[in-house]
């Protein structure tokens, strides 16, 4: 098949979000002999991007950093331009299949379908326009209404939707998708990249937490919609019982200034390390340096359907997790075996679960090891991406 893959995020180098998923799908498509073109943004030149992805052609798109404080306004400018570019490419190349990551990237396949006869596959991992409610700006209300209508249209009219959880499938069906057109392929992790790195972990602990007994970690984009400030509230409770504990926030995002201010007001500076952005390939070393990982999400509609990458990445490095108790996450976490749940938006309960792990090291170790086995058996990207591609291949039979 001739396949056009479209994602409106930075794909080379991997920037987090949907890019590990899409890069794995591209890799499997190529391994299985398909002719692949990729529309995405790149922080490298064309030659390096082609060499990295090993695809037939790339179409560079405009990039908006997920860390940009004005990203919502920039999306309004750049997404229409990116849609136009992908429409042009689809009209020109007439691929057999267009795989698009999330609904806005999926719109070009619907706009060109009558002419190109291309089948439209929507890789749906987020309900994008539900995030706008967390920004609480008057101008976003109208954008949210228009965007949700577009998103729902793409959901209804795509030939196939592949999504990340049973609860997300139910949501998509409620929005008009036909149940027999929706398949589930969970998120995962590259277990050959994310694995324990003992020497690197020791060096990082010595550099950033010398003499500290316990390190609790949260990593990724740290944005307001995920309510990450709960970590500061939980830290107070943990430190009262375990004073020699640090909290590492590895990554960056719009919520960081507010978190820094809360840390300062509570005099917790010596108990926090905020790294700023860390390259994707360095993340296994940082994860290996911690004792437990946090999966922080609030109890809101956009979070209830999500399965975040960070949980799999902690498991791959043999770390236990403390996760918000939400429907999609219940599908993958076995409480007491691979992780613990806390009540969403409850810092006291989060602190209690963290303390439980700190006070039972054998339990923490068993959970981390069980998580690693789970990743290897079920949530490795090679297996998941192959499953994804096989769903696509069945469409052309």
pLDDT(112) > 70: yes
pLDDT(379) > 60: yes
Torsion from C-alpha of 324, 326, 330, 331, nearest 10 degrees: -130
CATH number at residue 306: 3.40.50.2000
Res 69: pLDDT: 63
Res 396: pLDDT: 73
Domain of residue 27 covers 2-188+380-395
Same domain for 86 and 27? yes
Instruction: Tell me how far apart the alpha carbons of residues 374 and 310 are, in angstroms, rounded to a whole number.
Output: 14
Q: What percent of the chain stands above pLDDT 70?
A: 93
pLDDT(68) > 70: no
In a domain, 391, yes or no: yes
pLDDT(318) > 60: yes
Same domain for 362 and 293? yes
Res 302: pLDDT: 85
Same domain for 370 and 339? yes
In a domain, 15, yes or no: yes
Q: Confidence class of residue 16 from pLDDT cuts 50, 70 and 90?
A: confident
Using alpha carbons, select from 123, 117, 59 the residue that is nearest to residue 88. 59
Res 257: pLDDT: 94
Res 337: pLDDT: 96
Mean residue pLDDT across the chain: 93
Mean pLDDT of 70-85: 77
Using alpha carbons, select from 311, 313, 301, 296 the residue that is nearest to residue 351. 296
Res 74: pLDDT: 64
pLDDT(172) > 90: yes
Give the pTM.
0.93
Same domain for 245 and 119? no
Same domain for 386 and 346? no
Q: Confidence class of residue 319 from pLDDT cuts 50, 70 and 90?
A: very high
Using alpha carbons, select from 52, 114, 123, 122 the residue that is nearest to residue 281. 52
Res 301: pLDDT: 87
Same domain for 28 and 166? yes
Res 159: pLDDT: 97
Q: Confidence class of residue 78 from pLDDT cuts 50, 70 and 90?
A: confident
Q: Confidence class of residue 20 from pLDDT cuts 50, 70 and 90?
A: very high
pLDDT(333) > 70: yes
In a domain, 193, yes or no: no
Mean pLDDT of 72-80: 71
Res 70: pLDDT: 64
Mean pLDDT of 74-97: 89
Same domain for 147 and 32? yes
The contacts of residue 376 (CB under 8 Å, 6+ apart) are 191
Indicate the range of 119-133, 314-328, 353-367 predicted with least confidence: 119-133
Mean pLDDT of 15-26: 92
Same domain for 111 and 132? yes
Q: Confidence class of residue 71 from pLDDT cuts 50, 70 and 90?
A: low
Same domain for 183 and 82? yes
Q: In the chain, how many domains are there?
A: 2
Mean pLDDT of 97-111: 95
Mean pLDDT of 179-201: 97
pLDDT per residue as tens digits for the range 358-377: 999 999 999 999 999 999 99
pLDDT(268) > 90: yes
pLDDT per residue as tens digits for the range 335-360: 999 999 999 999 999 999 999 999 99
pLDDT(132) > 80: no
Mapped to the 3 state alphabet, what secondary structure does 96-154 carry? CEEEEECHHHHHHHHHHHHHHCCEEEEEECCCHHHHHHHHCCCCHHHHHHHHHHHHHHH
pLDDT(135) > 80: no
Instruction: Tell me how far apart the alpha carbons of residues 13 and 45 are, in angstroms, rounded to a whole number.
Output: 11
Mean pLDDT of 240-251: 97
Higher per-residue pLDDT: 46 or 315 = 315
Instruction: Tell me how far apart the alpha carbons of residues 354 and 214 are, in angstroms, rounded to a whole number.
Output: 10
Give the highest mean pLDDT range of 75-79, 81-85, 305-309, 314-318: 314-318
Same domain for 384 and 374? no
Same domain for 385 and 373? no
Res 397: pLDDT: 64
Instruction: Tell me how far apart the alpha carbons of residues 200 and 178 are, in angstroms, rounded to a whole number.
Output: 48
Same domain for 23 and 111? yes
Higher per-residue pLDDT: 261 or 143 = 261
Is the peptide bond preceding residue 13 cis, with omega within 30 degrees of 0?
yes
């Amino acid at each position: 098949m001739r396949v056009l893959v479209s994602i409106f995020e930075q794909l080379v180098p991997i920037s987090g979000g949907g890019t590990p998923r899409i890069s794995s799908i591209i890799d499997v498509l190529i391994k299985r002999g398909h002719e692949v073109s990729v529309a995405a943004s790149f922080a490298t030149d064309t030659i390096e991007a082609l060499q990295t992805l090993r695809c037939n052609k790339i179409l560079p798109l405009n990039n908006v950093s997920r860390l940009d404080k004005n990203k919502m306004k920039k999306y309004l400018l750049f997404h229409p331009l990116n849609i136009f570019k992908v429409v042009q490419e689809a009209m020109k190349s007439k691929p057999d299949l267009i795989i698009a990551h999330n609904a806005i990237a999926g719109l070009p396949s619907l706009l060109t379908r009558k002419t190109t006869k291309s089948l439209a596959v929507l890789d749906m991992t987020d309900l994008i326009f539900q995030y706008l409610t967390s920004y609480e700006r008057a101008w976003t209300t109208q954008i949210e209404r228009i965007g949700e209508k577009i998103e729902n249209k793409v959901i209804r009219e795509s030939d196939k939707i592949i999504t990340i959880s049973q609860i997300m499938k139910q949501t998509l069906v409620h929005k008009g998708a036909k149940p027999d057109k929706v398949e589930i392929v969970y998120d995962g992790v590259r277990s050959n990249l994310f694995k324990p790195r003992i020497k690197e972990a020791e060096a990082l602990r010595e550099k950033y937490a010398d003499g500290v007994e316990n390190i609790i970690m949260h990593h990724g984009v740290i944005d307001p919609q995920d309510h990450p400030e709960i970590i500061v509230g939980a830290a107070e409770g943990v430190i009262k019982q375990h004073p020699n504990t640090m909290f590492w926030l590895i990554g960056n995002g719009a919520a960081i200034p507010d978190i820094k201010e809360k840390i300062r007001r509570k005099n917790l500076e010596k108990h926090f390390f905020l790294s700023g952005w860390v390259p994707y390939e360095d993340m296994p070393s940082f994860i290996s340096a911690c004792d437990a990982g946090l999966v922080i999400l609030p109890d809101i509609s956009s979070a209830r359907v999500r399965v975040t990458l960070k949980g799999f990445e902690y498991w791959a490095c043999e770390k236990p997790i403390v996760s918000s108790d939400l429907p999609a996450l219940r599908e993958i976490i076995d409480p007491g075996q691979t992780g613990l749940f806390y009540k969403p938006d409850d810092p006291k309960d989060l602190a209690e679960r963290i303390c439980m792990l700190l006070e039972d090291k054998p339990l923490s170790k068993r959970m981390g090891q069980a998580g690693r086995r789970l990743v290897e058996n079920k949530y490795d990207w090679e297996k998941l991406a192959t499953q994804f591609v096989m769903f696509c291949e069945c469409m052309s039979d």
